[in-house]
Chains A and B, each alone.
Chain A
Amino acid sequence: MTSSPLIPRPLSSLMPGDSGIVDHLETSGTVLYKLMELGVWPGEKITLVRRAPLGDPLIIELMGYQLALRQSEAQSIFLS
């Protein structure tokens, strides 16, 4: 039993090399469907591989492949 509950943090706050399990997605509509179809859904392990030279977009790795997405979308993906 941990004394303090683990608060999910957005993917955008990760440092390169960090990973976490998707807790929930704070988005809806096409973006939500698209993310889920690409495998970004609760329970999936995601690693932040690196950021593009200008800091945005981000490259993540999941299910053995790499996907780039913008900071704005990464902010809506919460990991625990």
Chain B
Amino acid sequence: MSAMALRTLTLAIAGNPNSGKTTLFNHLTGLRQKVGNYAGVTVERKEGLFSAGDTEIHLLDLPGTYSLSPNSEEERIAAEVILGLEKEAPTPDGVICVVDSTSLEKSLYLVLQILETGAATMVLLNMTDELTLRGARLDAELLARLLEVPVIQISATQGIGLPQLNALLECWIPRHAEQKTEKKLFAPTLPEITQRRLRAKQIARNVIKQELLPHPWSDKIDRVVMDRVWGPLIFAFVVLIVFQAIFSWAKPLMDGIDGLFTLLGTAVRHLEPGALWTSFLADGVLAGVGSVIVFLPQVLIVFFFIALLEHSGYLARAALVMDKLLYKAGLQGKSFLPLISSYACAVPGIMATRTIENKRDRFATILIAPFMTCSARLPVYAFLISAFIPDRRIIPGLLGWRSATLLSLYLLGFLAALVTAWGLKSTILKSDKMPFFLEIPPYRWPAWKTIFLMMWDRAKLFLTRAGTIILGASLALWILVTFPRHTGPEAMRDSFAGHIGRAIEPAIKPLGFNWKIGVGLLSAQVAREVMISSLATIYHVDADTKDQTKLQEAVRHDVTPWAAVSLLVFFALAMQCSSTLAVARRETGSWKMPALMFIYMNALAYIASLAIFQTSRWLGF
């Protein structure tokens, strides 16, 4: 890195999906990058800094696209950034176009379209190592002459050609050519597409000096991975490992974080017991920060697997295994990973929808993800089930009432998700025909740096964007349960939260809930499992996580068994998690989606609980 940059260049980096664009971007910028979203859309916005000699380069990573025709948000944004029409991005001085040299003809389409914009362009023929390995040869100099732009052969994973790239960037003076098709770019016509395809074919014919041999082992692996029997088995095995990792590997870390913050909270509270400032620090700030950081292990693990599966090429295959089933439900193959992750927690699950390029499918997946039974529901389920469901067998030695209840709750969430996805398909997310095209790249060794940087990006993004909202919600709740200040046994009853609880009591009474449960539901909005500790406060019982029998007894006095069933169903269906709403806001770029999620899920939960409790009363239980 030079101490003094003599000039600054802003360059956009474009390329097809799977062209190795991200790997190159990471290689060049390392940790000097920041990730965000373009306002109002789901398209990711990534920028980075690096220097080549005395030139400091501001790199804009464009979304991976096959063309600049506005068939999707990604393509529209890519086109607008290159043309300098995107308000949120600086107008680039030039474009670096990354091309997978093993599929030159396909990739040339985008290159030609970028050249038509008149943007100063350089072409990087990536994956040169694989090209050589497969016995092929390209005439890069001829390509440079035909396109009239600089061309370098590189391999981003191996570091081949990067010194040459550095040297070129140091002295490159981007010169814009005459713009040919600005307006037409936004309304593609068949003759234009045909023209580009013809030109791409011509160029590829001239430049490819030695034809490509088939990938040495990709097809052999696919024969097994895409087999009728082995395919689904391997898929199930991979899912099992991911599932196991999210649940088991993350658990000790999450427990550790939880324990640490509880310990810190207790220590702070002891500084001056009963004082407002210690309560604010312990129950407001520390509890809030803790409830954000506790998600980190899961976010990191989910993104480790996504990066590994995506960059090795298996993610595309797994999507194909699942596509037929999920398509029937109104989703698509790539929805499987976000949904599975959501069984641990909808927060990493919703973040994982990034792999779905199609906006409609992505929105549908985000909307149904919170129905998956997340691990935060489990403590509440466990608490209520052991308090109200008798420990008796339905089938001796096999199935008990308690496990059957738990299983039904998992099933209920899953069914609600399916029905919702199906409903979305035929209503608000209806579209005449949504094609599914997915490039199946050969298997490749993923670059560890890329995996690590993806985990880093997601963790940072989660902490800064979602984390701040989660912390805010947690502080707001602290205010509600603390003020107006009262001491004595009925403190909670006279707090704002207590007032709200009693104010909504008429609305939740038909579901079988009293105002205390109402306060519990309100506090569950920070995180579902918080319900238990706030019930403990309301019922003046020590919130001991090991021994909940006292609290269970207290709740049993106040709540009928059918009201408890109604409450379980409410928890299965309701949107009670401000973290999920915060992440949905972040990933979709507006509050519309989280608002819809909140209203829809809570309405559904209300109606279901109402039906259960009223039916039970009508039947005379």
Enumerate chain A interface residues (CB-CB to B < 8 A).
Answer: 30-39, 41, 49-57, 59, 63-70, 73
Which 9 residue pairs of A and B lie closest in terms of their CB atoms, listed nearest first?
Answer: A53-B231, A65-B103, A52-B320, A66-B440, A54-B324, A68-B438, A63-B105, A37-B67, A36-B193
Pick the most buried of A37, A41, A55: most chain B CB atoms within 10 A of its CB: A37
**B227 lies within 8 A of A53 (CB):** yes
Residue of A nearest to B67 (CB): A37
Chain A residues lying within 8 Å of B570, measured Cβ to Cβ, are none
Q: Closest Cβ of chain A: how far from B200's Cβ, in Å?
A: 8
**A53 lies within 8 A of B436 (CB):** no
**B321 lies within 8 A of A53 (CB):** yes
Q: Does B222 contact A (CB under 8 A)?
A: yes
Q: Closest Cβ of chain B: how far from A62's Cβ, in Å?
A: 8
| Residues of B in contact with A, size category | 35 or more
Q: Does B228 contact A (CB under 8 A)?
A: yes
Enumerate chain B interface residues (CB-CB to A < 8 A).
Answer: 66-67, 69, 71, 100, 102-106, 109, 188, 190, 193-194, 197, 204, 212, 222-223, 226-229, 231-232, 316, 320-321, 323-325, 327, 333, 433, 435-442
Q: Closest Cβ of chain A: how far from B116's Cβ, in Å?
A: 14
Given A31-B433, A41-B197, A54-B321, answer yes or no on A66-B105 (Cβ-Cβ < 8 Å): no
**B435 lies within 8 A of A31 (CB):** yes
Q: Looking at the complex, which one of B67, B323, B439 makes contact with A52 (CB distance below 8 Å)?
A: B323
Complex CA distance for A64 and B439, rounded to whole angstroms: 12
Q: Closest Cβ of chain B: how far from A5's Cβ, in Å?
A: 25
**A52 lies within 8 A of B324 (CB):** yes
**B69 lies within 8 A of A37 (CB):** yes
Chain A residues lying within 8 Å of B435, measured Cβ to Cβ, are 30-31, 34, 69-70, 73
Q: Closest Cβ of chain B: how far from A23's Cβ, in Å?
A: 15
Q: Closest Cβ of chain B: how far from A73's Cβ, in Å?
A: 6
**B103 lies within 8 A of A64 (CB):** yes
Q: Looking at the complex, which one of B66, B436, B439 makes contact with A66 (CB distance below 8 Å)?
A: B439
Q: Looking at the complex, which one of B194, B226, B229 makes contact with A41 (CB distance below 8 Å)?
A: B194
Complex CA distance for A54 and B67, rounded to whole angstroms: 30
Chain A residues lying within 8 Å of B327, measured Cβ to Cβ, are 70
Pick the most buried of A59, A68, A69: most chain B CB atoms within 10 A of its CB: A68
Residue of A nearest to B235 (CB): A53
**A33 lies within 8 A of B106 (CB):** no
**A68 lies within 8 A of B316 (CB):** yes
Q: Closest Cβ of chain A: how far from B588's Cβ, in Å?
A: 22
Complex CA distance for A68 and B317, rounded to whole angstroms: 9
**A65 lies within 8 A of B106 (CB):** yes
Chain A residues lying within 8 Å of B197, measured Cβ to Cβ, are 36, 39, 41
Q: Closest Cβ of chain B: how far from A11's Cβ, in Å?
A: 13
Chain B residues lying within 8 Å of A57, measured Cβ to Cβ, are 320, 323-324, 333, 436, 438
Chain A residues lying within 8 Å of B212, measured Cβ to Cβ, are 64
**B437 lies within 8 A of A68 (CB):** yes
Given A41-B197, A53-B226, answer yes or no on A67-B438 (Cβ-Cβ < 8 Å): yes
**A39 lies within 8 A of B106 (CB):** yes
**A52 lies within 8 A of B436 (CB):** no
Q: Closest Cβ of chain B: how far from A55's Cβ, in Å?
A: 7
Q: Looking at the complex, which one of A37, A59, A65, A66 makes contact with B193 (CB distance below 8 Å)?
A: A37
Residue of B nearest to A63 (CB): B105
**B193 lies within 8 A of A33 (CB):** yes
Complex CA distance for A73 and B433, rounded to whole angstroms: 10
Q: Looking at the complex, which one of A30, A54, A63, A73 makes contact with B71 (CB distance below 8 Å)?
A: A30
**B105 lies within 8 A of A56 (CB):** no
Instruction: Return 19 A-B CB contacts under 8 Å, by A number.
Output: A30-B71, A33-B71, A37-B67, A38-B437, A50-B222, A52-B231, A54-B325, A56-B324, A57-B436, A63-B204, A64-B105, A65-B102, A65-B106, A65-B439, A65-B441, A66-B440, A68-B316, A68-B320, A68-B437
Given A37-B69, A41-B197, A55-B324, answer yes or no on A50-B437 (Cβ-Cβ < 8 Å): no
Complex CA distance for A41 and B190, rounded to whole angstroms: 11
Q: Closest Cβ of chain B: how far from A59's Cβ, in Å?
A: 6
Q: Closest Cβ of chain A: how far from B38's Cβ, in Å?
A: 21
Complex CA distance for A59 and B442, rounded to whole angstroms: 12
**B226 lies within 8 A of A63 (CB):** no
Q: Closest Cβ of chain A: how far from B110's Cβ, in Å?
A: 9
